Amino acid sequence: MRLAYEDGADWLVEVLEYERESASAQLAFALEDYERKMGTPEEQEHRREKAKRGERRPAK
């Protein structure tokens, strides 16, 4: 982006910045969704320990 700006390709910088912001927003959403589904590291460890012991979740 810096090279494009130095070469006077402002339009390219604008496009790249828009794409960067879009990808960043998608990643932030995906990470938040993943963390919500997986729980905290402590909750994940608790689930792993239960799985090792053979405990299962009750059927819904």
Q: Could you read off the pLDDT of 14-41 as tens digits, one per residue?
A: 888 999 999 999 999 999 999 888 888 8
d(CA 18, CA 12): 10
Position 3 pLDDT exceeds 80: no
Q: What is the pLDDT of residue 28?
A: 96
Q: What is the pLDDT of residue 12?
A: 82
What's the pTM value of the predicted model, to 2 decimals? 0.55
Query: 16: how many CB neighbours lie within 10 A of its CB?
Result: 14
For residue 16, what are the contacts with CB-CB under 8 A and spacing of at least 6?
A: 1, 4
DSSP category for residue 59:
P
Q: What is the pLDDT of residue 57?
A: 65
d(CA 17, CA 1): 8
Nearest partner of 2 among 24, 18, 17, judged by Cα:
17
Percent of the chain with pLDDT over 90: 30
